[in-house]
């Protein structure tokens, strides 16, 4: 019965007289609060050194052809620390569809009150490819081509990020353009929707061995319900993060991260699906590796809270 459910689910997603794709809108990583550049270009350079993250997320395990996403993000301040640059590459694969995004990121920071305000921009190329041969081999349909079809489109976005030692707030629109990458015969219709992120977090210093950090993220996508992540993380003895996340209309997540030293941090999260897909999937897994090289002239405290 589970196999039948999987086939029906994937058929609804992929098949039809016209093949329609809503191009990947930034994957909502459960560990977004430790990898801010994945949703906000203004986050670039906020760590004060060379910051690199490798993230892999497997959605809906147990379902054949379920999505899995890989992301590489790197950023660093330049010169006087006001200007920062970075790069962001992600690949999302679901069934026969592969979406790739590459963005160059730039941010400029100014002192404001007790913290700093950053203005960020990003621009790059979004690519969507569908291997129709994978589909026609399972469900023959003469209306579908028996080849790989790829469509590309440029896009750009921006954001604001304000942070102090105790809290942060951010607003971003990673993709400002509503792109249509459809082909001439309407076999493939690819639509990118504009969406908005609002984020905030605060660090409560309970004692030298315990810091509590609640976080919130609100995502607004045109034509879709508003989605929110409510999260709280606890930092124990300055090296172990433990946390829980509730994502509306979707899941409950459990997070753990280890700050092994000033350079190396690893993280894992498991999302337990709570919506109607809960009876066909074993949940989602997310793995993160972070490397940070501090600037010798500007020492950064470890651990980093934001």
Residue ranges of the domains in the chain?
29-139+147-181+188-290
Helix or strand (DSSP H, E) at 220: strand 210-221
Residues 252-306 pLDDT 10s:
999 999 999 889 999 999 999 888 777 777 889 999 999 999 876 655 555 677 7
Q: What is the pTM of this model?
A: 0.84
Q: Which two tokens stand for residue 292?
A: 């940070």
Quick one: how far is CA 171 from the chain centroid? Answer: 15
Do residues 153 and 181 lie in contact, with contact meaning Cβ atoms separated by under 8 Å? yes
Cα distance between residue 74 and residue 92, in whole Å: 18
Q: Which two tokens stand for residue 59?
A: 């959605």
Q: Which two tokens stand for residue 284?
A: 């989602």
DSSP 10: H
Q: How many residues are present in the chain?
A: 306
Do residues 60 and 284 lie in contact, with contact meaning Cβ atoms separated by under 8 Å? yes
Do residues 251 and 50 lie in contact, with contact meaning Cβ atoms separated by under 8 Å? no
Cα distance between residue 143 and residue 19, in whole Å: 10
Cα distance between residue 253 and residue 269, in whole Å: 7
> CA angle 44-69-151, nearest 5°?
90
Please give the C-alpha separations between residue 26 and each of 17, 107, 176, 189, 259, in angstroms, as whole numbers: 27, 19, 13, 19, 26
* pLDDT value at residue 9: 40
Stretches where the chain sits below pLDDT 50 are: 1-24, 186
* pLDDT value at residue 15: 34
* pLDDT value at residue 281: 79
Q: Is 137 exposed, middle or buried (0-12, 13-18, 19+ CB in 10 A)?
A: exposed
* pLDDT value at residue 140: 59
- Classify domain 29-139+147-181+188-290 by CATH number: 2.40.160.40
DSSP 63: S
Residues 5-39 pLDDT 10s:
443 343 333 333 334 444 445 567 899 888 899 99
């Amino acid at each position: 019965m589970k196999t039948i459910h999987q086939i029906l689910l994937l058929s609804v997603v992929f098949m039809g007289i016209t093949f329609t794709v809503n191009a990947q809108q930034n994957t909502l990583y459960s560990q977004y609060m430790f990898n801010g550049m994945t949703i906000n270009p203004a986050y670039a350079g906020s760590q004060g050194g060379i910051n690199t993250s490798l993230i892999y997320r497997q959605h809906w395990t147990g379902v054949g052809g379920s999505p899995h996403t890989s992301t590489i993000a790197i950023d660093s301040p330049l010169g006087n620390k006001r200007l920062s640059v970075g790069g962001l590459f992600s690949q999302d694969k679901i069934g026969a569809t592969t979406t790739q995004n590459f963005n160059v990121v730039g941010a400029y920071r100014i002192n404001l009150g007790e913290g700093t305000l950053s203005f960020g921009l990003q621009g790059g190329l979004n690519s969507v490819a569908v291997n129709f041969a994978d589909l026609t081999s399972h469900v023959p349909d003469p209306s579908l081509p028996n080849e790989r079809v790829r469509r590309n489109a440029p896009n750009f976005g921006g954001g604001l990020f304000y942070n102090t030692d105790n809290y942060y707030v951010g607003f971003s629109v990673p993709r400002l353009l509503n792109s249509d990458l459809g082909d001439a015969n309407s076999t493939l219709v690819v639509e990118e929707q504009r969406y908005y992120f609002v984020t905030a977090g605060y660090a409560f210093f309970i004692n030298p061995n315990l810091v509590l950090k609640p976080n919130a993220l609100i995502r607004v996508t045109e034509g879709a319900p508003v989605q929110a992540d409510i999260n709280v993380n606890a930092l124990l003895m300055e090296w172990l993060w433990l946390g829980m996340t509730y994502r509306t209309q979707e899941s409950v997540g459990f997070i753990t991260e280890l700050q092994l030293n000033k350079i190396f941090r690893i993280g894992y999260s498991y999302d337990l699906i709570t919506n109607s897909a809960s009876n066909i999937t074993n949940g989602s897994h997310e793995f993160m590796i972070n490397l940070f090289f501090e600037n010798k002239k500007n020492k950064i405290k470890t651990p980093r809270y934001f």
